[in-house]
Structure 1
Amino acid sequence: MSRSLPRPLRWGVVSTSAPAAGTSHIADAAPESLCAREPHVPADRLVAEMVPPPRFQTARFETYVPDERQPSQAEAVRVLSGFAAGLGGAHAVGTKRRFFGRKPAAPQGPRGIYLDGGYGVGKTHLLASLWHATPAAPEHKAFGTFVELTNLVGALGFQQTVRTLSEHRLLCIDEFELDDPGDTVLVSTLLGKLVEAGVALAATSNTLPGKLGEGRFAAADFLREIQGLSAHFRALRIDGEDYRHRGLPEAPAPYSDEQVAKAAYATEGASLDDFPRLLEHLAKVHPSRYGALTDGLTAVCLTGAEPVPDQSTALRLVVLADRLYDREVPVLASGVPFDRLFSEDMLKGGYRKKYFRAISRLTALARDAAPLVSERQ
């Protein structure tokens, strides 16, 4: 299956928004509404689109800027460069399976690299750089988030997913976090099959592989599966502070509802939604489709941002923030600041690293959105 590099896609998004009366002097049409979109992602395109997202299309080891105060960052570039170079040559294990019909011996030792570190140290940049540096055609390497990987299994079935990904040289998994026991068993089994087939693995997370699931479910009951996952990876720690805010001014304060609405009408390709209503709509769309939900947007404008009411809603918002960040879509909002979207209990719980990542990314996108107001008002 041939694939192209990342690009904006039209995923069959259904939108029912219509121009608002009396707004033609501001824009040609009313803004889009995320709540009016019902994206449908064909299963046969899921693997074909497993490539680095637009934000990381040009990511390379050469463009990663290590913090001189954090030697582990430069070391990560060195280790990953060597790992990529070692993936050249024939896909020997897969070839042996096809031509001789015998089950090959499982490789000894870790077959992958696991990038562990706080949010904002450049893990996704390095993961995308590894994908680009690996000497294989795009159709022989895959890049996706953990959510996208589990969704692929749901769409294709376990055995077909194994057969499809077994032909790959490399599988990169971003935001690797296990939120329930079912995912633990599923991914452990899948990665074991892929390693057996000779596929190299690389993953990013904020949690060491032996600690996945800790604080979120009864990890002790699934210790064997978690330890099995850990055995596939060499953990590579990356220290440092969040580069998105290193030396930059504070994020802009929330705007008024009127400012947000005017900016949305004046910005071609922008969406405009009430924040609480958007949270309700997210519950009706599978998180694997949140990327398609934002397809083609130049900005997301939200009125009435307020603290999220519960953990399930908060986790959906995290996924949306990740997809917006991947696609470099600015976010303009009124209401509470983004660092007040999640409660103190949430920021102290098992998902705290996800919430801090979302705050970091939304803050960066809010900074990107500031010119939408200053240039037009």
Structure 2
Amino acid sequence: MSSSTAAHGSAPITEAAPLSLCAREPHVPADRLVAEMVPPPRFDAVRFDTYVPDPNQPSQSEAVRVLSTFAAGLGGASAAGGGKRRWFDFGKKPAAPTAPLGVYLDGGYGVGKTHLLASLWHATPAPRELKAFGTFVELTNLVGALGFQQTVQTLSGHRLLCIDEFELDDPGDTVLVSSLLRRLVEAGVALAATSNTLPGKLGEGRFAAVDFLREIQGLSAHFRPLRIDGEDYRHRGLPEAPAPYSDEEVTKAAYATEGASLDDFPHLLDHLAKVHPSRYGALTDGVRAVCLTDVRPVPDQSTALRLVVLADRLYDREVPVLASGLPFDRLFSDDMLNGGYRKKYFRAISRLTALARDAKGLVAQ
């Protein structure tokens, strides 16, 4: 949200009370899950030429070149129309029957992998209904809603499936999605993916391509790993996140901002346990700002992982977050930040910090 939509000192307090996320229990029909498999609103306008490579990281410019070539190669007949497997030229040599049908974007959080993945979706010369884009969680939710065979049938006519944040934390889900992707590859669907870290993988805050290719069980030959080096762009040259505000400031801003929600943070965490993560996007429908009071450390891992999903959905939708209590970099304990899910937690901190910057204009100066 731009500052032009924020509340200012002269703005009147609205008569209606703010929304409450805790009062919402959305139900999402299966057809909506399919229709919404497109890049999220934050990435509506991204393209390869809007990606700004770090001049100190040549792999970023190379990624744009390779993905642009990959997208251009997806303009042939769809699997549904031609019924033949399609092979693509990555720009190095003529296409061959053994060329990979997919790319895996390998890099740390904040290097722009989602920007590039969404740019690939936009650049692929195919009708909107023949391209699908979603997170790993959204894909597993689709299988849960439609059933495995119906999901295969629904996606088999696509030219491209982009999977953001491929999760390898749950072996059962990994096997499920690997089986799904194998069927889609057989139907000629091109694949592109980014991924998260396996439990116990520490170090750079990134997931190594070799682990991804091993875990997707037999699909490694269909992926070309594409390394993208760099630091988190959300902190590149940007100011530090604003300090938390007082309860009074957050409450006043919530009442003064049309479409804002206002919730006590501990109660919101409790409520998230009652709503399936596939519905967190719907939970924020129509919300133009999220105001939270009494932010405090997340008490346990299950709660923390639910908060990560909510942070992703808020970030996707560019919903600013105004908060009182502790700053967002103190949400997760040292044990969490040093554990197997550290990449998810650092991503959540990074994204919530960016949304906190966006919310500065909501407070009257």
TM-score interval (norm. to shorter): 0.7 to 0.9
User: Larger deviation: 227-236 or 148-157?
Assistant: 227-236
Aligned to 1:164: 154
Q: CA deviation at 1:93?
A: 7.3
- Pick from 271, 276, 297: which aligns with 2:287? 297
1:61 maps to 2:51 = no
- Kept after mapping to 2: 8 A contact 1:116/1:235: yes
Structure 2-normalised TM-score? 0.88
- Pick from 224, 233, 258: which aligns with 1:268? 258
- Pick from 13, 20, 23: which aligns with 1:26? 13
Aligned to 1:308: 298
Q: CA deviation at 1:213?
A: 5.5
1:201 maps to 2:191 = yes
1:71 maps to 2:58 = yes
Q: 1:327 to 1:122 in 2, by over 3 A?
A: same
Q: CA deviation at 1:232?
A: 2.7
1:245 maps to 2:235 = yes
- Pick from 337, 352, 358: which aligns with 1:347? 337
Per chain length, whose mean CA-contact separation is higher, i.e. which structure has more relative contact order (CA < 8 Å, sep 6+)?
A: 2
Aligned to 1:365: 355
1:86 maps to 2:76 = no
Q: Distance in 1 between matches of 2:199 and 2:125?
A: 33
Aligned to 1:103: none
- Kept after mapping to 1: 8 A contact 2:79/2:159: no
Q: Distance in 1 between matches of 2:84 and 2:141?
A: 27
- Kept after mapping to 1: 8 A contact 2:138/2:278: yes
Q: Distance in 2 between matches of 1:113 and 1:231?
A: 10
Q: 1:231 to 1:313 in 2, by over 3 A?
A: farther
1:45 maps to 2:32 = yes
Gaps in structure 1 of 5+ consecutive residues: 1-24, 99-106, 217-221
Instruction: Name the aligned partner's letter for residue 177 of structure 1.
Output: E
Q: Distance in 2 between matches of 1:89 and 1:275?
A: 50
Instruction: Name the aligned partner's letter for residue 37 of structure 1.
Output: R
Q: CA deviation at 1:203?
A: 0.8
Cα displacement string for residues 305-339 of structure 1 (whole angstroms, at most 9, x for unaligned residues)? 01101100000000000000000000000111100
Aligned to 2:312: 322
Q: Distance in 1 between matches of 2:80 and 2:19?
A: 49
- Pick from 121, 138, 142: which aligns with 1:131? 121
Q: CA deviation at 1:223?
A: 9.7
- Kept after mapping to 2: 8 A contact 1:94/1:166: no
SS in 2 for 1:29: coil
The alignment of Structure 1 onto Structure 2 pairs a total of residues equal to 334
SS in 1 for 2:318: coil
Q: Distance in 2 between matches of 1:129 and 1:262?
A: 39
Q: Distance in 1 between matches of 2:189 and 2:244?
A: 46
- Kept after mapping to 2: 8 A contact 1:330/1:366: yes
Instruction: Name the aligned partner's letter for residue 144 of structure 2.
Output: G
Aligned to 2:145: 155
Q: CA deviation at 1:96?
A: 2.7
Aligned to 2:92: none
Cα displacement string for residues 128-182 of structure 1 (whole angstroms, at most 9, x for unaligned residues)? 1000000000000000111000000000000000011000000001111122111
Instruction: Name the aligned partner's letter for residue 252 of structure 1.
Output: P
Aligned to 1:5: none
CA RMSD of aligned residues (A): 1.9
- Kept after mapping to 2: 8 A contact 1:119/1:206: no
SS in 1 for 2:185: helix
Q: CA deviation at 1:184?
A: 1.3
Q: CA deviation at 1:28?
A: 2.3
Q: CA deviation at 1:66?
A: 0.4
Aligned to 1:285: 275
Structure 1-normalised TM-score? 0.85
Q: CA deviation at 1:110?
A: 2.5
Aligned to 2:246: 256
- Kept after mapping to 1: 8 A contact 2:80/2:158: no
Q: CA deviation at 1:344?
A: 0.3
Instruction: Name the aligned partner's letter for residue 47 of structure 2.
Output: R
- Pick from 65, 72, 83: which aligns with 1:96? 83
Q: 1:47 to 1:157 in 2, by over 3 A?
A: same
Q: Distance in 2 between matches of 1:306 and 1:96?
A: 54
Instruction: Name the aligned partner's letter for residue 78 of structure 1.
Output: R
Percent identity, please: 85
Q: Distance in 2 between matches of 1:36 and 1:171?
A: 34
